Amino acid sequence: MRRGTVRRHRVSLAAFCRNGLSMAKVFIPTARLENGSEMQKLSLGLYNVPRDQVKAVVDAGLAAGLRSFDSASFYDNEVEVGEALRSWMASGHDRSELFVTTKVWTTDLGDPESAARSAETWGP
């Protein structure tokens, strides 16, 4: 490797899940919000996660103890993320345990309804 060159190794969580491996539950530090809620300081970013792998990735994150997820309409997988989270809630978990972050993309800045559409896509 040449001097000054940085090698980046990316571990694909989707590949990790596909191989039948599971994540151990981990301690994730939290921050107390003004309303008294505790929010994890670590979110699972879902950029570049293909739609057909979203459920496995979200399920692995939930199994590891993650309760904060980050996406955007631009990622083109919000529907699948919402489905995975609704499935988890249907198994007896409460929505109040989750924090979901989405972004209004630059192409939607002039559209005041774009945030509402994302919220509908994510579900309850």
Nearest to 39, CA basis, from 73, 69, 83, 78: 69
Residue 32 — φ and ψ, nearest 5°? -85, 125
Q: Mean pLDDT: which of 14-23, 80-89, 96-105 is highest?
A: 80-89
Nearest to 65, CA basis, from 95, 12, 28: 28
Length of the chain, in residues: 124
pTM attached to this predicted model: 0.74
What is the dihedral sign for C-alpha 88, 91, 95, 98?
negative
Q: Which pLDDT score, from 0 to 100, does residue 18 have?
A: 54
List the structure tokens of 80.
């699948």
Q: Among all chains, which residue has been given the structure tokens 């994540």? A: 23
pLDDT in tens, 12-64: 555 555 555 455 677 889 999 999 999 999 999 999 999 999 999 999 999 98
Quick one: what percent of the chain has pLDDT higher than 70? 78
5, pLDDT greater than 50: no
What are the structural domain ranges in the chain?
Answer: 13-20+33-122
Active site residues: 75
